[in-house]
Amino acid sequence: MQQMPYYPPGYQAPSPYGSSHLMTADNGLPQLPHPVGVGESNTQSPASGQPAKRKQVKNACTNCQKACKKCDEARPCPRCVKYGIADTCVNSTRKERKKGVKRGPYKRRQKGDGDVSTPEARTPRRKNSPEPATNQYDPQNMRASMPFSYPNGLNQYGQPYDAYSQYQPYMVNPVYSGMPYPIVSGADGQHQGQQGQHQPYAAHPPLPHAQQHSPYNGYQGSPHQQNRSLQSIHSGDAKEEQKPHQPLTPIPSTSNSSAASSPHVNVGTAGANGHAGGENDEEGSRLARLSQLCRAALDQTDTKVEST
DNA sequence: AATATCGGAACATAAACTAG
DNA sequence: TAGTTTATGTTCCGATATTT
Protein backbone atom coordinates (compact mmCIF):
# COMPACT_ATOMS: atom_id res chain seq x y z
CA MET A 1 0.00 0.00 0.00
CA GLN A 2 3.00 2.10 -0.27
CA GLN A 3 2.03 5.18 -2.02
CA MET A 4 4.54 7.38 -3.63
CA PRO A 5 5.31 9.85 -0.97
CA TYR A 6 4.76 13.42 -1.80
CA TYR A 7 7.79 15.55 -1.49
CA PRO A 8 7.38 19.23 -1.34
CA PRO A 9 9.53 21.40 -3.47
CA GLY A 10 13.00 21.37 -2.16
CA TYR A 11 12.62 18.22 -0.24
CA GLN A 12 15.33 15.81 -0.98
CA ALA A 13 13.79 12.46 -1.25
CA PRO A 14 16.34 10.09 0.08
CA SER A 15 17.15 7.60 -2.54
CA PRO A 16 17.99 4.46 -0.62
CA TYR A 17 14.40 3.96 0.21
CA GLY A 18 14.72 0.43 1.25
CA SER A 19 17.98 0.72 2.99
CA SER A 20 18.19 -1.60 5.91
CA HIS A 21 18.19 0.97 8.61
CA LEU A 22 15.88 3.26 6.86
CA MET A 23 12.53 3.09 8.38
CA THR A 24 9.63 4.54 6.62
CA ALA A 25 7.85 6.91 8.81
CA ASP A 26 4.15 6.89 8.70
CA ASN A 27 4.23 10.15 6.94
CA GLY A 28 5.60 8.28 4.05
CA LEU A 29 8.91 9.89 4.40
CA PRO A 30 11.90 7.79 5.10
CA GLN A 31 13.25 8.21 8.53
CA LEU A 32 16.90 8.50 8.23
CA PRO A 33 18.86 8.05 11.31
CA HIS A 34 18.98 11.31 13.02
CA PRO A 35 20.40 13.78 12.25
CA VAL A 36 20.80 13.02 8.64
CA GLY A 37 17.14 12.45 8.30
CA VAL A 38 16.12 15.98 8.69
CA GLY A 39 16.15 16.38 5.00
CA GLU A 40 16.19 19.84 3.65
CA SER A 41 15.94 21.27 7.02
CA ASN A 42 19.38 20.18 7.82
CA THR A 43 21.01 23.31 8.96
CA GLN A 44 24.35 21.90 9.62
CA SER A 45 26.56 19.76 7.61
CA PRO A 46 27.00 16.38 9.16
CA ALA A 47 30.57 16.69 8.11
CA SER A 48 31.02 19.46 10.58
CA GLY A 49 30.93 16.91 13.30
CA GLN A 50 28.18 18.81 14.94
CA PRO A 51 25.00 16.88 15.03
CA ALA A 52 22.47 18.76 13.03
CA LYS A 53 19.57 19.97 14.99
CA ARG A 54 16.24 18.55 14.40
CA LYS A 55 14.27 20.98 12.41
CA GLN A 56 10.63 21.41 13.05
CA VAL A 57 8.01 22.86 10.89
CA LYS A 58 6.50 25.99 12.17
CA ASN A 59 3.05 24.66 12.05
CA ALA A 60 2.11 21.04 11.82
CA CYS A 61 -1.21 20.13 10.39
CA THR A 62 -3.89 19.05 12.78
CA ASN A 63 -3.63 15.44 11.73
CA CYS A 64 0.08 15.18 12.28
CA GLN A 65 -0.25 17.08 15.45
CA LYS A 66 -2.74 14.62 16.78
CA ALA A 67 -0.61 11.72 15.76
CA CYS A 68 2.59 13.30 17.00
CA LYS A 69 4.09 12.69 13.64
CA LYS A 70 6.32 14.61 11.41
CA CYS A 71 4.57 17.11 9.28
CA ASP A 72 5.60 19.30 6.47
CA GLU A 73 5.16 22.85 5.37
CA ALA A 74 3.31 21.68 2.35
CA ARG A 75 -0.45 21.40 2.42
CA PRO A 76 -1.62 18.80 2.23
CA CYS A 77 1.31 17.32 3.98
CA PRO A 78 2.81 14.04 2.82
CA ARG A 79 1.38 12.16 5.71
CA CYS A 80 -2.13 13.32 5.07
CA VAL A 81 -1.73 12.54 1.43
CA LYS A 82 -0.57 9.10 2.26
CA TYR A 83 -3.52 8.45 4.47
CA GLY A 84 -5.97 10.01 2.13
CA ILE A 85 -6.96 12.70 4.52
CA ALA A 86 -5.56 15.53 2.55
CA ASP A 87 -8.82 17.36 2.75
CA THR A 88 -8.47 17.69 6.47
CA CYS A 89 -4.88 18.75 6.34
CA VAL A 90 -4.97 22.20 7.75
CA ASN A 91 -2.62 24.16 9.88
CA SER A 92 -3.14 23.84 13.52
CA THR A 93 -3.62 27.03 15.39
CA ARG A 94 -1.06 28.08 17.85
CA LYS A 95 -1.93 29.23 21.22
CA GLU A 96 -0.86 32.67 22.13
CA ARG A 97 1.86 32.91 24.65
CA LYS A 98 1.09 33.97 28.14
CA LYS A 99 2.01 37.47 28.96
CA GLY A 100 2.93 39.05 32.18
CA VAL A 101 4.75 36.07 33.56
CA LYS A 102 7.17 37.54 36.03
CA ARG A 103 10.65 36.21 36.43
CA GLY A 104 13.40 36.42 38.88
CA PRO A 105 16.63 38.23 38.23
CA TYR A 106 18.62 36.71 35.47
CA LYS A 107 21.91 35.19 36.06
CA ARG A 108 24.38 36.63 33.69
CA ARG A 109 27.08 34.52 32.25
CA GLN A 110 30.62 35.62 32.14
CA LYS A 111 32.01 36.20 28.73
CA GLY A 112 34.71 33.65 29.20
CA ASP A 113 32.30 31.09 30.40
CA GLY A 114 31.89 29.21 27.21
CA ASP A 115 30.21 30.44 24.14
CA VAL A 116 27.23 32.30 25.29
CA SER A 117 26.16 33.32 21.90
CA THR A 118 24.99 29.93 20.82
CA PRO A 119 21.83 28.45 22.10
CA GLU A 120 23.63 25.19 22.60
CA ALA A 121 26.00 26.80 25.00
CA ARG A 122 23.20 28.11 27.05
CA THR A 123 22.29 24.72 28.35
CA PRO A 124 18.63 25.21 28.24
CA ARG A 125 16.92 23.84 31.22
CA ARG A 126 14.12 21.58 30.36
CA LYS A 127 10.86 21.32 32.07
CA ASN A 128 11.66 18.01 33.60
CA SER A 129 15.25 18.48 34.28
CA PRO A 130 16.25 19.17 37.81
CA GLU A 131 17.13 22.65 38.72
CA PRO A 132 20.77 23.48 38.66
CA ALA A 133 22.49 23.27 41.98
CA THR A 134 23.01 26.95 42.17
CA ASN A 135 19.63 27.59 40.97
CA GLN A 136 18.20 30.83 41.98
CA TYR A 137 14.98 29.95 40.34
CA ASP A 138 13.99 27.22 42.59
CA PRO A 139 10.31 27.88 42.71
CA GLN A 140 10.18 27.57 46.41
CA ASN A 141 13.22 29.61 47.22
CA MET A 142 12.52 31.98 44.54
CA ARG A 143 9.18 32.78 45.94
CA ALA A 144 10.68 33.64 49.22
CA SER A 145 13.44 35.74 47.86
CA MET A 146 11.62 37.29 45.08
CA PRO A 147 11.55 41.02 45.16
CA PHE A 148 8.12 40.83 43.74
CA SER A 149 5.26 38.54 44.09
CA TYR A 150 2.03 37.84 42.45
CA PRO A 151 -0.79 39.74 43.91
CA ASN A 152 -2.57 38.54 46.99
CA GLY A 153 -0.85 35.23 47.14
CA LEU A 154 -1.88 34.32 43.68
CA ASN A 155 0.40 32.52 41.41
CA GLN A 156 1.24 33.63 37.96
CA TYR A 157 -1.93 32.14 36.72
CA GLY A 158 -3.96 34.15 39.07
CA GLN A 159 -4.79 31.23 41.25
CA PRO A 160 -4.28 30.94 44.94
CA TYR A 161 -0.80 30.01 45.82
CA ASP A 162 0.21 28.34 48.99
CA ALA A 163 3.09 26.37 50.26
CA TYR A 164 1.19 23.15 50.14
CA SER A 165 0.10 23.18 46.60
CA GLN A 166 2.72 25.32 45.09
CA TYR A 167 3.69 24.54 41.61
CA GLN A 168 0.47 22.84 41.05
CA PRO A 169 -1.22 25.97 40.08
CA TYR A 170 -4.22 24.35 38.61
CA MET A 171 -4.83 21.76 41.17
CA VAL A 172 -7.90 22.41 43.11
CA ASN A 173 -9.03 19.13 44.40
CA PRO A 174 -6.60 17.81 46.96
CA VAL A 175 -8.16 14.39 46.89
CA TYR A 176 -8.53 13.96 43.23
CA SER A 177 -5.42 15.82 42.49
CA GLY A 178 -5.01 14.01 39.26
CA MET A 179 -8.39 14.94 38.10
CA PRO A 180 -8.23 18.11 36.29
CA TYR A 181 -11.67 18.72 35.65
CA PRO A 182 -13.17 21.13 37.95
CA ILE A 183 -10.59 23.57 37.02
CA VAL A 184 -10.49 23.27 33.40
CA SER A 185 -10.75 26.89 32.91
CA GLY A 186 -7.54 28.34 34.06
CA ALA A 187 -7.15 31.89 35.03
CA ASP A 188 -6.41 32.86 31.54
CA GLY A 189 -9.20 30.76 30.21
CA GLN A 190 -7.01 29.78 27.37
CA HIS A 191 -6.68 26.10 27.66
CA GLN A 192 -9.88 25.10 26.19
CA GLY A 193 -8.41 23.21 23.38
CA GLN A 194 -6.24 24.93 20.98
CA GLN A 195 -8.34 24.46 18.01
CA GLY A 196 -11.63 26.02 17.53
CA GLN A 197 -12.99 23.10 15.69
CA HIS A 198 -12.13 20.86 18.55
CA GLN A 199 -14.34 22.25 21.16
CA PRO A 200 -15.39 18.91 22.50
CA TYR A 201 -12.07 18.77 24.12
CA ALA A 202 -12.77 21.55 26.37
CA ALA A 203 -15.01 19.34 28.36
CA HIS A 204 -12.92 16.28 28.01
CA PRO A 205 -10.48 15.50 30.74
CA PRO A 206 -6.83 15.26 29.95
CA LEU A 207 -5.37 11.84 30.09
CA PRO A 208 -4.24 10.75 33.47
CA HIS A 209 -0.83 9.59 32.52
CA ALA A 210 0.01 12.87 31.03
CA GLN A 211 -0.86 14.32 34.33
CA GLN A 212 1.16 11.94 36.31
CA HIS A 213 4.33 12.64 34.58
CA SER A 214 3.93 16.21 34.00
CA PRO A 215 5.90 18.65 36.03
CA TYR A 216 2.80 20.67 35.69
CA ASN A 217 0.89 18.08 37.52
CA GLY A 218 -2.59 19.25 37.51
CA TYR A 219 -1.93 21.97 35.09
CA GLN A 220 -4.56 21.50 32.52
CA GLY A 221 -3.10 24.18 30.46
CA SER A 222 -0.22 22.08 29.36
CA PRO A 223 -0.54 22.03 25.66
CA HIS A 224 0.78 18.60 25.42
CA GLN A 225 -1.82 17.29 27.69
CA GLN A 226 -4.42 19.10 25.79
CA ASN A 227 -3.04 17.63 22.75
CA ARG A 228 -3.25 14.20 24.18
CA SER A 229 -6.81 14.47 25.09
CA LEU A 230 -7.36 16.02 21.80
CA GLN A 231 -5.73 13.12 20.14
CA SER A 232 -7.74 10.52 21.80
CA ILE A 233 -10.96 12.12 20.93
CA HIS A 234 -10.25 13.24 17.48
CA SER A 235 -8.04 10.50 16.38
CA GLY A 236 -10.95 9.58 14.27
CA ASP A 237 -11.30 6.03 15.42
CA ALA A 238 -13.99 5.17 17.79
CA LYS A 239 -11.93 2.40 19.20
CA GLU A 240 -9.70 4.93 20.78
CA GLU A 241 -12.58 6.51 22.51
CA GLN A 242 -13.84 3.27 23.84
CA LYS A 243 -10.52 1.94 24.80
CA PRO A 244 -9.55 2.76 28.32
CA HIS A 245 -6.46 4.80 28.40
CA GLN A 246 -3.44 2.81 29.10
CA PRO A 247 -1.64 3.17 32.33
CA LEU A 248 1.44 5.24 32.23
CA THR A 249 3.66 2.29 32.69
CA PRO A 250 2.31 -0.86 31.29
CA ILE A 251 1.19 -3.06 34.07
CA PRO A 252 1.56 -6.72 33.54
CA SER A 253 -1.87 -8.09 33.37
CA THR A 254 -1.76 -10.35 36.31
CA SER A 255 -4.79 -11.44 38.14
CA ASN A 256 -3.94 -9.36 41.14
CA SER A 257 -3.30 -6.18 39.35
CA SER A 258 -6.30 -4.64 40.90
CA ALA A 259 -6.24 -1.42 42.72
CA ALA A 260 -6.24 -3.27 45.97
CA SER A 261 -2.95 -4.82 45.13
CA SER A 262 -1.31 -1.50 45.29
CA PRO A 263 -1.39 0.11 48.64
CA HIS A 264 -0.09 3.24 47.10
CA VAL A 265 -2.85 3.51 44.70
CA ASN A 266 -3.46 7.08 44.02
CA VAL A 267 -7.09 7.74 44.17
CA GLY A 268 -6.81 10.66 41.93
CA THR A 269 -4.81 8.85 39.41
CA ALA A 270 -6.89 5.78 39.61
CA GLY A 271 -9.95 7.81 39.32
CA ALA A 272 -8.67 9.36 36.22
CA ASN A 273 -7.44 6.12 34.89
CA GLY A 274 -9.24 4.93 31.91
CA HIS A 275 -11.99 7.38 32.05
CA ALA A 276 -9.97 10.37 32.87
CA GLY A 277 -12.01 10.97 35.91
CA GLY A 278 -15.11 12.97 36.22
CA GLU A 279 -16.91 10.54 34.09
CA ASN A 280 -19.09 9.56 36.94
CA ASP A 281 -19.27 9.94 40.61
CA GLU A 282 -19.84 6.29 41.01
CA GLU A 283 -16.40 5.55 39.82
CA GLY A 284 -15.02 8.04 42.22
CA SER A 285 -16.82 6.67 45.20
CA ARG A 286 -15.82 3.16 44.27
CA LEU A 287 -12.26 4.21 44.20
CA ALA A 288 -12.62 6.02 47.42
CA ARG A 289 -13.93 2.85 48.97
CA LEU A 290 -11.10 0.92 47.50
CA SER A 291 -8.57 3.21 48.98
CA GLN A 292 -10.31 2.93 52.30
CA LEU A 293 -10.03 -0.79 52.10
CA CYS A 294 -6.42 -0.56 51.21
CA ARG A 295 -5.76 1.68 54.10
CA ALA A 296 -7.55 -0.63 56.43
CA ALA A 297 -5.59 -3.56 55.13
CA LEU A 298 -2.40 -1.65 55.59
CA ASP A 299 -3.31 -0.73 59.07
CA GLN A 300 -3.96 -4.32 59.88
CA THR A 301 -0.65 -5.30 58.43
CA ASP A 302 1.08 -2.65 60.40
CA THR A 303 -0.45 -3.70 63.66
CA LYS A 304 0.48 -7.28 62.94
CA VAL A 305 4.03 -6.32 62.29
CA GLU A 306 4.15 -4.31 65.44
CA SER A 307 2.77 -7.11 67.53
CA THR A 308 5.35 -9.57 66.28
C1' DA B 1 4.36 -6.47 9.35
C1' DA B 2 1.90 -2.50 9.51
C1' DT B 3 -0.15 0.83 12.06
C1' DA B 4 -1.45 3.39 16.20
C1' DT B 5 -0.36 5.39 20.56
C1' DC B 6 2.00 8.40 23.46
C1' DG B 7 6.01 9.91 26.78
C1' DG B 8 9.12 13.10 26.67
C1' DA B 9 13.30 15.23 24.42
C1' DA B 10 14.26 18.63 21.16
C1' DC B 11 13.09 22.65 19.12
C1' DA B 12 11.27 27.45 18.44
C1' DT B 13 10.38 31.77 20.02
C1' DA B 14 7.80 35.37 22.66
C1' DA B 15 8.42 37.97 26.43
C1' DA B 16 10.86 39.40 30.59
C1' DC B 17 14.96 41.15 31.94
C1' DT B 18 19.47 43.69 31.86
C1' DA B 19 23.57 46.25 30.48
C1' DG B 20 25.24 49.98 28.22
C1' DT C 1 17.19 49.65 23.13
C1' DA C 2 19.69 45.77 21.65
C1' DG C 3 21.11 41.68 23.40
C1' DT C 4 20.42 37.98 26.76
C1' DT C 5 17.86 34.76 29.38
C1' DT C 6 14.02 32.18 30.53
C1' DA C 7 9.42 30.20 30.17
C1' DT C 8 6.13 28.42 27.41
C1' DG C 9 4.19 26.18 23.60
C1' DT C 10 4.93 22.90 19.57
C1' DT C 11 6.96 19.28 16.98
C1' DC C 12 8.01 14.72 16.35
C1' DC C 13 11.42 10.74 17.73
C1' DG C 14 11.36 6.40 19.21
C1' DA C 15 9.63 2.79 22.19
C1' DT C 16 5.76 0.14 22.80
C1' DA C 17 1.13 -1.61 21.99
C1' DT C 18 -2.35 -3.00 18.97
C1' DT C 19 -4.30 -4.48 14.75
C1' DT C 20 -4.32 -6.75 10.35
DSSP-assigned letter for residue A211: H
Average pLDDT over residues A92-112: 76
In a domain? residue A134? no
User: Is residue A246 left, alpha or beta, with left meaning phi > 0 and alpha meaning psi from -120 to 50?
Assistant: beta
Query: Is strand B less than 7 A from the beta carbon of A69?
Result: yes
Query: Is strand C less than 7 A from the beta carbon of A62?
Result: no
In a domain? residue A5? yes
pLDDT band at A69 (very low <50, low <70, confident <90, very high): very high
DSSP-assigned letter for residue A36: G
- Output the pLDDT for position A64: 92
- Output the pLDDT for position A104: 76
The domain in which residue A276 lies consists of 261-301
Query: Is strand B less than 7 A from the beta carbon of A79?
Result: no
User: Residue A253 above 70 pLDDT?
Assistant: no
Neighbours of A259 (CB within 10 A): 17
* Contact (Cβ atoms closer than 8 angstroms) between residue A57 and residue A73: yes
User: Residue A65 above 80 pLDDT?
Assistant: yes
Q: What is the distance between the alpha carbons of residues A108 and A130, in angstroms, rounded to a whole number?
A: 20
SS3 for A91? strand
pLDDT band at A93 (very low <50, low <70, confident <90, very high): confident
In a domain? residue A132? no
Subset of residues 118-157 in chain A with CB less than 7 angstroms from any atom in strand C: 122, 124-125, 127, 137, 156
Average pLDDT over residues A248-255: 32
Subset of residues 147-186 in chain A with CB less than 7 angstroms from any atom in strand B: 148
In a domain? residue A119? no
The segment with the largest mean pLDDT, out of A121-125, A201-205, A212-216, is: A121-125
Protein residue closest via CA to C1' of C8: A97
C-alpha angle A265-A269-A274 in degrees, rounded to nearest 5 = 110
pLDDT band at A146 (very low <50, low <70, confident <90, very high): very low
**Backbone phi, psi, residue A262, to 5°:** -115, 105
pTM tops 0.85, yes or no:
no
Query: Is strand C less than 7 A from the beta carbon of A75?
Result: no
Q: What is the distance between the alpha carbons of residues A34 and A170, in angstroms, rounded to a whole number?
A: 37
Distance A27 CA to B11 C1' (A): 20
Q: If you average pLDDT over every residue of chain A, what do you get?
A: 47
CA A3 to chain centre: 32
In a domain? residue A147? no
Distance A231 CA to C13 C1' (A): 17
Subset of residues 122-151 in chain A with CB less than 7 angstroms from any atom in strand B: 124, 126-129, 148
Query: Is strand B less than 7 A from the beta carbon of A248?
Result: yes
- Output the pLDDT for position A285: 62
Domains held by chain A: number: 2
- The rounded radius of gyration (Å) of the Cα atoms in chain A is 24
User: Residue A60 above 80 pLDDT?
Assistant: yes
In a domain? residue A124? no
Distance A147 CA to B6 C1' (A): 40
Query: Is strand B less than 7 A from the beta carbon of A264?
Result: no
pLDDT digit string, tens, across residues A155-209: 443 444 333 333 333 333 333 333 333 333 333 333 333 333 333 333 333 333 3
In a domain? residue A182? no
In a domain? residue A288? yes
SS3 for A287? helix
SS3 content of chain A, % helix, strand, coil (to 5): 35, 5, 65
In this structure, chain A runs to a length of: 308
Q: What is the distance between the alpha carbons of residues A235 and A63, in angstroms, rounded to a whole number?
A: 8
User: Residue A78 above 80 pLDDT?
Assistant: yes
DSSP-assigned letter for residue A151: G
CA A205 to chain centre: 14
